[in-house]
A and B are shown apart, each in its own frame.
Chain A
Amino acid sequence: MTTPNTAENLFRDIDTVNPVMPYLRQDRIPHIWCPGCGIGTTVNCFTRALTESGMDLDQIVVVSGIGCTGRVAGYLNLDSFHTTHGRAIPFATGLKLANPKLKVVVYSGDGDLAAIGGNHLVHAARRNMDLMVICVNNFTYGMTGGQVAPTTPLGARLSTMPYGNYDPPFNLPFLADACGAAYVARWTVFHVRQLAKSMLEGLRKKGFVFIEALSPCPTLYLRRNKRGEGVDELKYYKQNSIIKHGADTKEVGLTFDGKIVVGKFIDRERPTWLNAMNEHLTQQLGGKYTPYGG
């Protein structure tokens, strides 16, 4: 019998009680994120969800793409993979299918997941691949210096949209919903408790989970758009968010300075890709087929 590697066992040292610390590769802290960047806040929420879940942390794997958010994988003291730009989801797909006992979490940015990785996002949702995707949406490409992203609201200024953005953005919850995701939620980094709760639900959900976390990029997006510091953006989230669970995802598109609908939008049951395969092949092949379990 090995010691289950739950959070409880990690809190053995009474001096490291900051609940996030046992989840971090301490030798890599401080991190590279700018002052007032919201990515670290989402990490707090994720680690609280891990604690709540009581899951064996050895069986949780984080896969990131490339970007500021993509660096999350490197800071978490879990099995973690920092892959290529846009391809975290297909890597995670292979990993999950190779060992279905793992809980595989994709943690990446809006550009990574929705631009270069958009094709993989829609297909993983369509398949209802059993993955939890956390998309930190800061409306821009942070890592490369604040270019327009497929999430950038119309009118916002970015280094490659110097006269304001005219390239229409995705409404990511609608996209994930339309493609068949089993669970879709959006929060902002102001909504830390709700975000942590959604992440917990996501960890427990079977199927494709998509959680969008709106997050400030003060260095690029906010500065260029004269929106103040990170904390000002959190205040903006606080003032302008409307919690609407079960909202029609068609209606939750974002604008530059409008209201932000947040909440748990979708929570549905659909067979996961692997369950569908096993069920179907059992039907078709009968006794010749042993359901695949890894």
Chain B
Amino acid sequence: MGDSTTASRPGKGTVFVRSEICKGCSFCVDFCPTDCLSFSTEFNPKGYHFPVLSAPEACTGCDLCGLYCPDFAIYGERWKDIDERKAKGRPQPVPEPAAPAPVKPAWGTLVPTDPRGVLTGLHFMDGDHATCEGAIAAGCRFAAGYPITPSTEVVERFAARIPVVGGLFIQMEDELASSIAVQGAAWGGKKTLSVTSGPGFSLMMEHIGLAAVTETPGVWVNVQRGGPSTGLPTLPGQADMMQAKWGSHGDYEIIALVPNSPQECFDLMIKAFNLSEVYRCPVMFMMDEVVGHMVERVEIPPAERIQVVPRRLTTKPKGEYLPFATTSEDLVPEMTVAGAGHRIHVTGLTHDERGYPAMNAAAQDKMVTRLVRKIRDHADALVDVREHYLDDAEIVVVSYGITSRIAKSAVDDARARGLRVGHLRLRIVWPFPAARIRALCQHAKAFLVPELNMGQVVLEIERVVAGQAKVIGIPHAGGSVHEPDAILKKIIEATQ
């Protein structure tokens, strides 16, 4: 059909059929206003009868058939339009604008942050507020949250501060919404923050998985409180450490930072944003109620001394960019934003380099392997610990967050008593600094692990130490913090 010789033009228009993709639904045949279609007696390769123009004299080329066809297998056109189209000929391709000179991707370098909103100077503020300031200083211009103690102050401050900085806060209807609104905003080009605690962190888990699989950068703050469930809204816990790593279904890797002071809330927040840009993965900021609410001195440096990582935006021309393609040296793909003309598709389904769903074991293996390797292969680069007295330590106390402050004082105390004890404080817990812990096994007889949970990070230490030293947890169900003496007592026991 579609013959353009005048002899075969009994009607005003005609139809074009891609018979091979027709599914024989009869929409076109039944709803052609002039009844000029009927079904072929032949079958197409899928076994369907397809439409034929059986009364060509009646076809007006109205394209109602095309509008109905759910399989995009037929369309109609008026001869007049066909002739016009053909007379115009194949139009000259519209010249694409000259490809911009290849520029060195900006993401390879650190740049000083946008000075707007950087509150340079000395402050006394709590950890929640310092977290907010860190985010703004890191270039975060979009936050979404839902109120929950003890994290609310972070977004309250953001809501107050961001209008004059040139950004936006939206209080969403729940944490499911806020944890995905930030991802929409990330694909709109923003650096984003979502903030929660306790039950809200559980609700956010679905979208941690989405961010991991779509490689959407962003920072998620969890000011940990006692759990499970509603638990202890106003009191501290550290029992979400495993949830931060494993909480969404499926295999993926995240990065988790744990500050232990308001100053660190500020400093590590900058780092958290930078890491999420470098690795394009969700970065968890695992505070706790005490760190969130303690007021201390916070020094905010001048903006030019705050170095941030710009997004890895592709410089590839339209049509050449594959949103999830990587090289063997660099496991992190270049990103783009919606509206840049690349016509990207981004899905939570297992996908290929184009971003298209690819539901098979080979695609799954390729994608998941890369998602975990892009973090695991960089575990050494991601080590961030603070060490005290480890050179000769026989006993190593490993801790993080608020617990590290108590553990440190217990270790100082033990040292004063002449005990060979050291302290390892984790500022990045995930990925786990396994190599550093293994190295300590050369001297260490025992690792002590106080944490505000019934034994979480201690399990990772047991796994890494693998029987080369004793690993002793010092659990605490949360609601308060450890007594320094309780840790000291365990240290003394371990030396005996």
Contact = CB atoms under 8 A, between A and B. Distances in A.
B402 to A, nearest CB: 32
Interface string A128-171: 00000000000000000000000000000000000000000000
B302 to A, nearest CB: 22
Nearest to A41: B70
Given A79-B343, A292-B167, A231 B30 contact: yes
Contacts of A12: 90-91, 93-94
Interface in A90-117: 90-99, 101-102
B285 interface: no
A288 B161 CA distance: 11
Nearest to A45: B67
Contact of A2 (B97, B180, B339): B97
Contacts of A92: 184
Given A12-B90, A193-B67, A93 B166 contact: no
Contacts, number: 240
B329 interface: no
Contacts of A20: 66, 72, 75
B188 A94 contact: yes
B345 A91 contact: no
Given A74-B356, A99-B189, A82 B346 contact: yes
Q: Chain A contact residues (Cβ within 8 angstroms of B): what range? A: 35 or more
B69 A97 contact: no
A263 B71 CA distance: 26
A59 interface: yes
Interface stretch (B17-25, B415-423, B431-439): B17-25
B174 interface: yes
Interface in A28-62: 28-31, 33-41, 43-45, 48, 58-59, 61
Contacts of B341: 2, 5, 58
Contacts of A82: 345-349, 357
A81 B184 CA distance: 9
B220 to A, nearest CB: 14
Contacts of A13: 90
A81 B187 contact: yes
A196 interface: yes
Given A12-B93, A87-B207, A74 B181 contact: no
B93 to A, nearest CB: 6
30 contacts: A2-B97, A5-B341, A9-B94, A14-B89, A14-B90, A19-B75, A35-B48, A40-B72, A41-B67, A41-B68, A58-B340, A58-B343, A66-B348, A80-B344, A82-B345, A83-B183, A84-B180, A87-B176, A90-B178, A91-B181, A94-B185, A94-B192, A97-B170, A97-B184, A98-B185, A98-B187, A123-B173, A190-B31, A231-B25, A281-B163
Interface of A: 1-3, 5, 9, 12-14, 17-21, 24-25, 27-31, 33-41, 43-45, 48, 58-59, 61, 63, 66, 73-74, 77-84, 86-87, 89-99, 101-102, 119-120, 123, 189-190, 192-193, 196, 229-231, 234-235, 277, 281, 285, 288-290, 292, 294
